[in-house]
């Protein structure tokens, strides 16, 4: 079971969850839990509870990775706007912060409304309008027992 650890170096008998491979002979217990013989890479990731039939995050498999999502916020001028995909006429792979990379004017962002019409909206970048959801957090080093 991954455990958060407060230093960069795991204690003796523990391994960092960094995607490293191992052999069944080295760690037979880990091999039963991780049959791909690869530790999960939890560097910079949040752990999320598995849906297991609850129908909130259907189709997810255990240990699968998932991109962040763009979340609509509120706009005092038009509360009916729903942001489905941000782009500037480009096909930007939006998996997090990359969506803001590019040649956007500092006070405007492009977004696509549900109808597919590109519109320009003044974005309040203080979190009152829209953004990728990133909760407040503290970085820990996830480790597992080497067994």
Query: Containing domain of residue 112, as a range?
Result: 73-129
- The verdict on 111 and 144 lying in the same domain is no
Is residue 110 situated within a structural domain?
Answer: yes
Longest dimension (CA), the chain: 63
Is residue 49 situated within a structural domain?
Answer: no
- The verdict on 112 and 80 lying in the same domain is yes
DSSP 61: P
pLDDT of 33 reads 94
Per-residue pLDDT reduced to its tens digit, 84-105: 444 444 444 544 444 443 443 4
pLDDT of 73 reads 52
Q: 144 CB contacts (<8 Å, ≥6 apart)?
A: 1, 2, 3, 14, 15, 17, 30, 39
- Position 4 pLDDT exceeds 60: yes
């Amino acid at each position: 079971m991954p455990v958060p650890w407060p230093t960069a170096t795991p204690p003796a008998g523990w391994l960092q969850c960094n995607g490293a491979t191992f052999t069944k002979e080295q760690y037979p217990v880990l091999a039963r839990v991780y049959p791909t013989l690869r530790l999960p890479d939890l560097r910079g990731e949040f752990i999320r509870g598995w849906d297991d039939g609850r129908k909130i995050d259907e189709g997810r498999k255990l240990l699968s990775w998932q991109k962040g999502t763009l979340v609509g916020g509120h706009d005092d001028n038009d509360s009916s706007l729903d942001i489905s995909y941000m782009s500037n006429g480009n096909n930007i792979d939006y998996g997090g912060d990359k969506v803001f990379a590019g040649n956007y004017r500092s006070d405007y962002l492009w977004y696509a409304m549900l109808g597919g019409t590109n519109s320009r909206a003044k974005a309040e970048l203080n979190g009152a309008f829209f953004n990728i959801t990133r909760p407040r957090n503290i970085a820990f080093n996830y480790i597992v027992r080497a067994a």
